[in-house]
Each structure stands twice: as structure tokens, then as C-alpha cells.
Chain A
């Protein structure tokens, strides 16, 4: 950016005749720097995850799909973060090889993470206090089944830009609202807005409105049928 060139001009130095506007530019540049670089850092605090967790490992190496851990209960509610028993369906004991056998950094981290989970949480029956990247505020009722049902109807069969995957692998549909697993890799800490308490990746109402307030959704099938209702009570409680 430009400020590097300009920063040579000390804003406090005595202005010469040509430099009557130096204070103006100094203020401008300082403000720009503060607003673009410093302020975003100030606005978010970081919350570390209790221990290392890799989505990549689970999806790519173990071949899991999203719904293996994040699924609907029979009452229609969404499990969200899996609980101990879900994890324990695989991680009843430590699966990773002992550190001596394989010495890569990743392997060590994986072993340590598993050990922490099995010994620190599973055995004492303590639930893991995962920091959630996308917790909605209390006044929002987000229905996963409604989105599965309604959005899947078209977006898994549509062609081109609006195709969000296949029924077998609707991952693109998930990442329409959720951060991708690459973004969440390596136990990424949650960046929490100090003012609002929202995580940086929380989908805000403007995100919801992309579909809910999009007229195409109101008249999508040409019969004036509401696909994405935009009444307040559709999502608020």
C-alpha cells in the first residue's frame, strides 16, 4: 500500500509552503491504516480450541462425510458439535500410531490430541468445550432440516453456478453458509467480535437474506410459491 512511501513524511514536521496539506494527508493515512489494519485486529479476540482437531484428517483420511458427525436427531433438531459418544464410536481408544513409530509433526499432534480426548474427556465423562465458529444468537431459530429439504430440492440438480453438489456429497451446500474445512483446519481458534460476541465466521442476517429476501425464491417455480419465506417468524424466536 501507499502509506509506506508517504510515511517518510513525518506528519509532525514543520510544513513547508508546498506542504500545507501534509497534515491532512497525514491524518488521512493514519486513519486509513488504523481503520484497515489496526481496527480489525482490535475488534476480534481469539479463543483457542481445547485441543487440536483436523477436519481434513476426518474427511480425507478417514473418509467421513459431514453427516457422520453432524446429523439430525429424530425430533428434527440438529446435533451441531458432536458429543463424546459420537466421537467415541471411533475414538474409544487411541487410533494414531505411538509417537515412536512415526515422527512427523502432524502425527505427533494427532496422537497428542487423541490422548487428550480419550484420557481427559472421554474417560472422566467430561464434554469437550469446543469453541463454536458459527453459533447463532438466541433469537434465531435455524432449521437444518428445512434447508436440507428445501434447498436440496433444486440446488443439487441445477446446472452451473447454482449447483451445490450431489445428494451424496452436498458439501458445497454446507459451505454456502459454513466456512469450508480448509478454513477451519488445524484447530483454528475462534475469532470473537469483542462487541457483539459473534464469531467472525457467524453467518449474519444479511447472509440469510441472500436467499430469503431474494425474489427468485419467492417466485421460483413460476406459481408464486414461497420457497424461502421471509416472514420474521420463519427464523426468529
Chain B
């Protein structure tokens, strides 16, 4: 008979019956259910003891103190550091710093461009040998770019440059540079400090003070404290609370600051300084004077900027302007802050005009006004003072014909961040040897010959001295909260050791030793207390001395016209999109609304009237064209922007970095070209016109 069908069925029936009285089916059912709840490919968080360490953000340029939560000594979360004079909450970028430690674009090993034009990984000793050799060959024909104006690394770089016989060192263009230039031209031997804490009426022109101007978290903490939550009593129907300081914003579009400001004064992009002159005109008409040496000349000069003329030039509503000036006059401690809505490129003349208004309001060295802070100190003998480095203009360096034999770039991405990236690229290519110290593989590093992987802010000891926009001198040291990977080093240490090997010992073995020496400049603090997150502060001030308003400079500077176009370009910044160095941090693109970026098409904001005039409708795909370049965008009709202006967000259009930054919109800088501002010589690109047409 054999093993026939009948036998098999009997066998199977027996087996089935048997298996039912074993744990197998029931246990399996349970376990399969649990298995589906814990897929092995879904990562599991790290567990263990939580500790906290204070640190100071080196990625966010706006001075962000942080408290880093570590689990078994590995950082997992950035939290606010309460009680810090620059702190209060967190910025979007700083929150992503722990994630950025593992950014796909992080550099892990030095990269050297081979003869075939491709990068190949090399070891650190090999990389620094190559760097040293190229430095030696270049002699004094070298130039340095630093992307961190608050850190002592800039001082180290400057010391090395000087020791090698070059004073070609540049910082990335910034508000601080414009302010330094303005202070110098006006005759102040000081830096501008902004006593926002003491002011009861802040007029911000251009400067997006709650998003990307100055010490943002501090500005916002001050805003928070001066604006209690509104409480309209249900019984009396009256407000029980009142703001203790007013905030007014003037700028081309309703940005983050305008959204919560008491009022918004729409002005054309690039006319910030002119608006300040219009205000000065009204203040002088109201009898205000200032102890400036050339006050009479200034008075004659601003006489031309009457309300009518100002309204015509800036697009501001005349009545609104007069009302705002009346409020300034009525306020006890009004403060005017002027800056570029795009974060840089506004030149120095606007700053001078703004400071003139502050001087007319009696604000110089007055509580709640402008505090004249002593210039940044230094401890390396060879290094140039920071104020001198600010004099060198990077856009002009890229425009100049003769190139250095070696260019060193520290934590900067000029190829992305400067106007006219194509021209910058060509200029960079003309430099025979380019070295980039960078944490991420950004656009600039991708074009360099040697890329040295840099530890991220959280992985190194570094410092920050009085970020621009501060009210007083401060000094912060950021502790190392994460162990750096084997392949990364910090610029300070590399430069110090290279200098030593070139026979130009800068006096310190390690960068940390230099910071320890620097900490001794602050009497009440120690390196340990600074590194633990307690900053040094000083109320030191500089006497105003003789200063002037330089109407001659203003006259010529404001006459500068950008390239013409159908609409004026109003570039704005969303701090959550990171910086040119970091690109868009992971998580950030989830904060973008669908009307800001859809697919890889970014939005251009124009108001209804402008759209009608240009025969465009909401959702139209358009091209913006300027300076011979064009970028694509989608029209978003947004009524919070002045007529004949096109609002575009900076921070898109990365071609390097990682998947979170790439394939998103376009880089607005492509449309603009920097020109030296007449008289001040500073880079200026805030007045560009562009054409807009349907694609």
C-alpha cells in the first residue's frame, strides 16, 4: 500500500491535532504579533543616563547658547540654556546641531584633488604635509578667508598670514562688517552695541531683528519680556496688560519681525538708508540736533529728504512716516536699528544714516540707545585687529585680477553665499591652490584642491566674542560635548602646528591653550567657568569723542543704482534654512509651508497689484532674470509685500551638501552682482532689479 494519500491525510490530521495542544501555534501567534511591533530595521533610541552640558553654538552665527542633553555621554538633544545673557529659547538651526553631527555631507577624511581632477582620500599627516608644502611654496602670496568673525580662529589665521608676510585676510560679508565700516567713517573708535533691554521703542529698518539680525535669541527674549500676553478682561472688556516697549518694522515685506511688530512700514528694498534720512529730516525739523562735527552740512543734506521726497524714493506712506517719527519723538528711549533684510550687502552708508538718527535722538552711549563698545581685543602679537580685517572686502577680492598662489578658506562657503556665484567660481578656479577647512562638503569645498575635515562646533573647544548686535561686551567659550571622529581636527590646532613647523611659532601649542590665555583677559571669569557656560560680561564703554555724519559719503552712496528690472528684488532670510555653511538642516524642510517650496520650485512673493501689472497669477511658473542669470520660481500672490517688489527666500538652490539641501529652489544670489558702494568701498547688492516673466 505504501505511503498513500489516505495515510498522508491521517498523518496530517494527527499532526494538526497534536500541534494544537502544543504551545507552538499560540506562542507563534503572540510572538509574530510582537515581531510586527518591533521591526529590526526601525532604529531604537540609545538608552542610559542623561547628563547636561552647556555649549555655545558655532553653527548659528547669531549667538546661541545651548544646553546639550547627553545620553551615556553622546549628545542627543539641544535644549535652551536658561539664564544666559544672550539666550532665551532656541534657534531652529541650533536645534538641529546634534543631527548635523551625522549629516550625510560631513567630511570624515582629508580630500586631496588628484591629477585626474577627482578627490581622493588622504591621511591627515599627508594632508598637512601637502598643505605645509603649498604654504611654503606660495611664500607671502597667500590669502585667507574666515567664515567665523566671533571666533579666535580668525585671530590665529591672521597671525599666520602676517607671519608669512601677507595681510590678505577676509571675513564673509556681514552686518558687523558694515557696522565696523560705518563706525570707522563716522570717527568712532568703537563697535556699536545695541541696548535693546533699555529701549522703550525700537524701530527696525531692514534688520529682521527677531529672525536674523544680531543676537537673535536675546532680541527675542527682550521682545518677550516687553510684550506680556494680552489679557482683555471679560468683565471690563479692557486690556489688563500693556507692552512696555514698542516694536516697529520697516522693510519691503512682512517678515517674521513685521508679523509681530506694532506696525509695518513698507519700503522698497535697498532704501533703508534713505528712510533713515527722511526720519532725520523730520527729527531736525522738530528741533533735534546732534553734536556731530559736520551737523550743519548734514542738516543741509537731509533737507532734500523731506517727507514727500522720502515717500517717493522709498515707497513709504508719508502719513505713516510722520506718525512713526512722532512716536519716536514721544518715546523716552527710542532706538533705531538698521540692517539688511538679507543679512548682508547693505553697505555702510545706511548704517551711517541710521546712526545719525540715533545721534539725533541723543542715543549715543545713552541707556536704551547705542552703546559704544571697545573693539575686540587680541592676544597674538602678529594678528591684525578684527576691526582691520573688516576693512578688507571679500567681494572685491574675488573681483580683483591678480590672485594669490594659495587661498585658505575656514568654515566659509563664499561660492554659495556671495553675489554672482559664477564669477566667484571662476575667480576661485584661477587660484592655483585652494584649501578649505570645512565640516561639510559644501559648494566651495567641492572646488578646492585640499579639503580638511573640521570638527563641528559641538566637537571642539571654541569661543565667541561679543556677537554683533550685543548690548555689551561678552565672551563665551563652548565646551566640547561630543567626541570628534578620528578623521576630523579643528582649524586652530592645525594652523598652530603648521605655523610651528614653518618656523613661525605663534606661541601656543594648542588652540585650547590660546583660549585659556584669552580667558585671562576677563578678570572675573576663568576658563573653567567660561567653558561651563557662564559667559564673561563687561559694561565697558568708549567715549564718543568727535564724530561726524559724512553727508558727502551718504550723498554718493545713495545715488548708487542696482541693475534695472521690472521688479525690485527683496531677498529675505528664514533662519530655519540654516546658513551657507550648513545648508538646510535635517528637519528644516518640514518647517517650510507648501506655499514656500513645492517639489523643487520655490515661491516668489509679489502682491496682487504687481501681479496684475505683470500679467501674472498665483501659481504661475515664472523666471526671474537679473545680471544675465535666471532662476525659476512659482508666483505666490502675497499682499504683505510692497508694490513692484519680488520677495525671494535665501538659502535654497544648494548644489553641494546633502539631500536635505539639494534640489530645492534656486540660489537668489545668482541674480545679483555686488558693486563697491561709492566712498565706503563696501560690497553692496541690496538694490537689484530683476525681470519677471512667465515660463
Residues in A lying within 8 Å of B, measured CB to CB: 11-12, 14-15, 20-21, 23-32, 34-36, 39-40, 43, 73, 75, 77, 79, 83, 127, 137-139, 193, 195-198, 204
Contact = CB atoms under 8 A, between A and B. Distances in A.
B50 A30 contact: no
A33 B2 CA distance: 24
A26 to B, nearest CB: 6
Interface of B: 1-3, 7-8, 10-19, 21-24, 27-28, 31-32, 34-35, 37-38, 40, 44-45, 49-50, 72
18 contacts: A15-B7, A23-B8, A24-B10, A27-B10, A27-B11, A27-B16, A29-B14, A31-B14, A31-B15, A35-B19, A36-B23, A39-B22, A39-B23, A39-B24, A138-B44, A138-B45, A196-B34, A198-B34
A85 B124 CA distance: 35
B27 A79 contact: no
Given A31-B19, A196-B35, 7 more contacts: A14-B1, A23-B10, A24-B11, A27-B17, A30-B14, A137-B38, A198-B34
Contacts of B72: 127
- 10 nearest CB pairs, A to B: A35-B22, A27-B14, A31-B18, A27-B15, A28-B14, A24-B14, A23-B10, A28-B18, A27-B11, A196-B34
Nearest to A12: B3
A27 B18 contact: yes
Nearest to B10: A23
Contacts of B19: 31-32, 34-35
Contact of A83 (B14, B15, B49): B49
A25 B18 CA distance: 9
A20 B4 CA distance: 12
Contact of A24 (B13, B35, B38): B13
Given A27-B12, A139-B37, A196-B35, A35 B18 contact: yes
Contact of B18 (A11, A32, A73, A196): A32
B233 to A, nearest CB: 36
B35 A195 contact: yes
Contacts of B16: 27, 31
Contacts of A79: 49
Nearest to A29: B18
Contact of A28 (B1, B3, B17, B49): B17
A176 to B, nearest CB: 22
A84 to B, nearest CB: 12
A127 B48 CA distance: 12
A73 B50 CA distance: 10
A31 B15 CA distance: 5
Contacts of A127: 72
A28 B22 contact: no
Contacts of B1: 14-15
Contacts of B10: 20-21, 23-24, 27
A27 B21 CA distance: 13
B50 A75 contact: yes
Contacts of B28: 195
B24 A26 contact: no
Contact of A197 (B12, B17, B38, B49): B38
A193 B31 contact: yes
B2 to A, nearest CB: 8
A196 B13 CA distance: 30
B333 to A, nearest CB: 43
Contacts of A36: 22-23
A14, A35, A127, A138 — most chain B CB neighbours (10 Å)? A35
B33 to A, nearest CB: 9
Contacts of A138: 38, 44-45
A36 B72 CA distance: 42
A211 to B, nearest CB: 20
A43 B15 contact: no
A25 to B, nearest CB: 6
A23 B7 contact: yes
Given A77-B49, A195-B32, A34 B22 contact: yes
Contacts of A32: 18-19, 21-22
A132 to B, nearest CB: 10
B13 A27 contact: yes
Contacts of A28: 14-15, 17-18
Contacts of B45: 138
Contacts of B49: 73, 77, 79, 83
Contacts of A77: 49-50
A127 B49 CA distance: 13
A113 to B, nearest CB: 23
Contact of A35 (B14, B24, B35, B50): B24
